[in-house]
Structure 1
């Protein structure tokens, strides 16, 4: 009897999580009202540089992200003046759960559950609860010249974004942040994970350009500006990035 009761409770919990995920997904991409995004800064390597950088972050630091998303959404027919609104939360002192690079499937599932709970219990700001939580983990480029892979999760609507604590890299940080934000809304990567080269046509900003290469802009989920068949550049800012047709369809801005 007790065994059957435990199984029933577990099934009800799983059903609740599945329904909650479904309705979160539908609500986040209907674009009837602006999405609320709360951003939590974290010192990723415990460095003085990252700590100082976080303490000096300005209140309008997400202006370029908001303007970029508004312009791209408008291009695809979304009439909201500000489709995504960012709010800054106080610095978190706890690092998110780490995923072992050699984790098996079960370990990855367990990490996903832990990460989702960790994101869910993050401190709330006054007012309405956020639709999406972004955790920006800052690193001193002198100590951490190569960043771990960032992750944006549609299930749970959160992202852990590894960025550099350096003013010269604010533009590229914005590109990575926008990329992971769109992952939470259902956008897929459009580059070859083995080479990081954008995939033609969906990973190209202008796949009809003649000659095709070099491109002048990056498709956001392609991640880079294709220069040749084997070389691509990281965009320095969102001024060199667009949202392509497939990505727009995946997040509800356009029809496939």
Structure 2
């Protein structure tokens, strides 16, 4: 009985949160006003090199994300001068609650609420109130050669990004940040979870290209450039990535004909 009551309360809360998120997302995907995105750096480990990396971060190291978004929105015919404005917050000392290893719907829903609450308590930043908040955990690559999976809440306006605390990985970090940011706009993943291979046609930047392979660019929500049916490679930077037609429909850049 108590479990049933708990689930009903949770569903009510989720419905309320979902309605609020839907309204906020509608404003994000209208592409009529600048969306303010806050980046909150966090040390993902206690390595001195990670602390040193966080200390030297500034807005310029993430500027290419905003520039790339502007170029992509213009490619889809949007004339907004500054689609997104990125602002770097001071480093946080506390890490957010991470997604559960047990992926049951109830556990994920509970984590989502917990994360939303945590984010609301750790959102101090100068300037305009951000519509999107990304909490970036930086890891020493010598300690963590393969960081955990990043998570952007679909239409939730918040996300957790795992990145490398090394200047040579800045461009790859920015690809991951852009990917998770677009999740908060409503974009979905477009790769096979088992093989990491982009899914045709939605995971291809140019799905109508002939011959189909090799592709030239990575679709941002697929994350890799398809070269053969079984092989794909990471793009070197956002300059080798595009927002494909399906993602453009999901985030409001392209009107769906369905």
Structure 2-normalised TM-score?
0.91
Return the alpha-carbon distance in structure 1 between the equivalents of residues 92 and 13 of structure 2.
29
- After TM superposition, give the deviation of residue 109 of structure 1 in Å: 1.5
Structure 1 runs not aligned, ≥5 long: 1-7
Q: Determine the structure 2 residue equivalent to 1:146.
A: 146
Return the alpha-carbon distance in structure 1 between the equivalents of residues 73 and 162 of structure 2.
25
Q: Determine the structure 1 residue equivalent to 2:59.
A: 59
Q: Determine the structure 1 residue equivalent to 2:118.
A: 118
Q: Determine the structure 2 residue equivalent to 1:217.
A: 217
- After TM superposition, give the deviation of residue 119 of structure 1 in Å: 1.1
- After TM superposition, give the deviation of residue 110 of structure 1 in Å: 1.2
Residues 178 and 106 (structure 1), Cα distance of their counterparts in 2 relative to 1, 3 Å cut: same
Return the alpha-carbon distance in structure 2 between the equivalents of residues 13 and 190 of structure 1.
29
Return the alpha-carbon distance in structure 1 between the equivalents of residues 247 and 142 of structure 2.
34
Return the alpha-carbon distance in structure 1 between the equivalents of residues 33 and 67 of structure 2.
16
Return the alpha-carbon distance in structure 2 between the equivalents of residues 112 and 12 of structure 1.
14
Residue correspondences, number: 251
Q: Determine the structure 2 residue equivalent to 1:5.
A: none
Return the alpha-carbon distance in structure 1 between the equivalents of residues 146 and 35 of structure 2.
31
Q: Determine the structure 1 residue equivalent to 2:24.
A: 24
Return the alpha-carbon distance in structure 2 between the equivalents of residues 188 and 60 of structure 1.
28
1:127 maps onto 2:127 in alignment: yes
Q: Determine the structure 2 residue equivalent to 1:73.
A: 73
- After TM superposition, give the deviation of residue 12 of structure 1 in Å: 7.6
Residues 10 and 135 (structure 1), Cα distance of their counterparts in 2 relative to 1, 3 Å cut: closer
Structure 2 runs not aligned, ≥5 long: 1-7
Aligned partner of residue 60 in structure 1, secondary structure: helix
Residues 52 and 109 (structure 1), Cα distance of their counterparts in 2 relative to 1, 3 Å cut: same
Q: Which segment is superposed worse, 14-23 or 121-130?
A: 14-23
Q: Determine the structure 1 residue equivalent to 2:200.
A: 200
Contact 1:25–1:154 (8 Å) recurs in 2: no
Structure 1-normalised TM-score?
0.92
